Structure 1
Amino acid sequence: MTDPDRTAAFFDETFATAPLMAILRGMGVERSLALATTAWDLGIDSVEVPLQTDEDEGALREVCRLAVERDRIVCAGTIIDPAQVPVAVAAGARYLVSPGLDPAVVAAAREHGIPILPGVATPSEVQQAVAFGLRWLKAFPATWLGTGWFRHIRGPFPQARFVATGGLDASNVAEFLDAGVRVAAVGSALEDEAQLPRLAEVLAARRG
């Protein structure tokens, strides 16, 4: 099996059980642990901790440690420099997420044997990612792209699978999933007690 095939198979399995993932950006260790637990208890299996500061590295490491105990998956987000890849791997991240498509970052991820979900926002970027052998992609910023983008992009790129991030919460995740998004990412919505029941409904209705 080639590296692109392994990466696709990894994401197929990772995202098979739930149509939502959580992003815990700049929340510190304790808050990240608390919200990761909220996400897992809700039924969101995959949690992203963006890696931008030394504190984020500590949060990523601790959330990864707790994830092992809970048999859950944690990824490192905002990977924009190849140098971040070994840091994320050492912290225990199971996969990487980038806001954009950088061949050097993709190459570094492959060198370290860790799957990567690069960001795209245009047909040209999707085409380039597909040429790299990538099938699972992050569409960012999702609310700026709009649901129509996903309906149109499926025509020329039926093999692409999208994780939508940016501005999503309980009020609009179902709309994006209906448009063909495979996974929708939420962040601060997990701190809003009023949104948790609706997120639970989405999970229950669409769980694979």
Structure 2
Amino acid sequence: MSQFADRLLAVLRAPTAESFPALAAILVDEGFRRIEVTLSGAGGIDAIRSIRESAPDDVVVGAGSVTTVAQVHEASSAGASFVVSPHTDQAVVRAATALGLEVYPGAFTPTEVCAAWAAGVTAVKLFPAGRLGIGYLRDIRAPLPNIPLIPTGGIGLEDIGDWLDAGARAVGLGSVVQGDYHRTRDDAGLRARAALAVRNASR
């Protein structure tokens, strides 16, 4: 897995996950290698299974918006390799760790970031990053340089390189790449946005 490809986390979110396998196939074709299927809509577990079965071996598929231990077990059974939460839930972290999954819990403040890291997670999702700004990431990394942070939420395609330069381990990209694909099935538009994201991450 190339270094820049693993610095992008595609966050798939829609009312239903019906479009996710096709969406993921295009993202993978353009260079994404880490796909998060959120469980906030219907059909997420089935989408994880479908994407995992069809994607190349170097593509890592996980579950997002995970808030319960039951979801952790369902995601693992479907083939997920990681779980992402909007917050830090100790029970979710313990369950995922016990199953050998990577865990990216959400945190907002330095205290929350440190608490999440102390729980033994893989990386911490800085959320919502867009409202905090790149300067906030730099401020947190100054005293906490060894905690890998994945800013997510409100990151523009043109800003990817700046977030990575500021010390992000990876960036989470949702609607800025996905757009309205679940409604339009606009393959060309999705492909163009995905290609731009990969180029900006590799600069």
Question: Could you tell me the TM-score, scaled by structure 2's length?
Answer: 0.84
Amino acid at match of 1:175: D
Q: How does 1:67-86 map to 2 (within 5 A)?
A: 67=55, 69=56, 71-86=58-73
Amino acid at match of 2:29: D
**Runs of 5+ in structure 1 lacking a partner?**
1-12
Deviations 1:154-202 (A, max 9, x none): 1221111111111123132222222211211212333462534432321
* Cα separation, 2, equivalents of 1:81 and 1:27: 19
Residue from 18, 23, 29 that aligns with 2:6: 18
* Cα separation, 2, equivalents of 1:202 and 1:107: 35
| Aligned counterpart, 1:200 | 198
* Cα separation, 1, equivalents of 2:11 and 2:84: 11
> In the TM superposition, what is the alpha-carbon distance from 1:204 to its structure 2 partner?
3.3
Asked whether the equivalents of residues 136 and 160 of structure 1 are also in contact (C-alpha less than 8 Å), the reply is yes
Asked whether the equivalents of residues 4 and 202 of structure 2 are also in contact (C-alpha less than 8 Å), the reply is no
Amino acid at match of 1:95: F
* Cα separation, 2, equivalents of 1:95 and 1:127: 20
| Aligned counterpart, 2:116 | 129
| Aligned counterpart, 1:142 | 129
Amino acid at match of 1:177: L
Q: 1:116/1:15 Cα in 2 relative to 1: closer, same or farther (>3 Å)?
A: farther
Amino acid at match of 2:196: R
> In the TM superposition, what is the alpha-carbon distance from 1:111 to its structure 2 partner?
2.3
Amino acid at match of 1:200: V
Amino acid at match of 1:37: A
| Aligned counterpart, 1:4 | none
Deviations 1:117-137 (A, max 9, x none): 111111111121232233511
Residue from 108, 111, 135 that aligns with 2:95: 108
**Runs of 5+ in structure 2 lacking a partner?**
180-188
Residue from 38, 51, 55 that aligns with 2:43: 55
Residue from 81, 84, 100 that aligns with 1:97: 84
Asked whether the equivalents of residues 18 and 43 of structure 1 are also in contact (C-alpha less than 8 Å), the reply is no
Asked whether the equivalents of residues 86 and 107 of structure 2 are also in contact (C-alpha less than 8 Å), the reply is yes
SS of residue in 2 equivalent to 1:26: coil
| Percentage of matched positions with identical amino acids | 36
* Cα separation, 2, equivalents of 1:129 and 1:152: 18
RMSD: 2.2
Asked whether the equivalents of residues 25 and 49 of structure 1 are also in contact (C-alpha less than 8 Å), the reply is yes
| Aligned counterpart, 1:180 | 167
Deviations 1:14-55 (A, max 9, x none): 977432121111264442112211211111100000113441
* Cα separation, 2, equivalents of 1:184 and 1:190: 12
Deviations 1:39-84 (A, max 9, x none): 11111100000113441222222112222x4531100011111111
1:43 aligns with 2:31: yes
Q: 1:152/1:168 Cα in 2 relative to 1: closer, same or farther (>3 Å)?
A: same
* Cα separation, 1, equivalents of 2:83 and 2:57: 20
How many pairs does the alignment contain?
192
> In the TM superposition, what is the alpha-carbon distance from 1:113 to its structure 2 partner?
2.3
| Aligned counterpart, 2:140 | 153
Q: 1:27/1:48 Cα in 2 relative to 1: closer, same or farther (>3 Å)?
A: farther
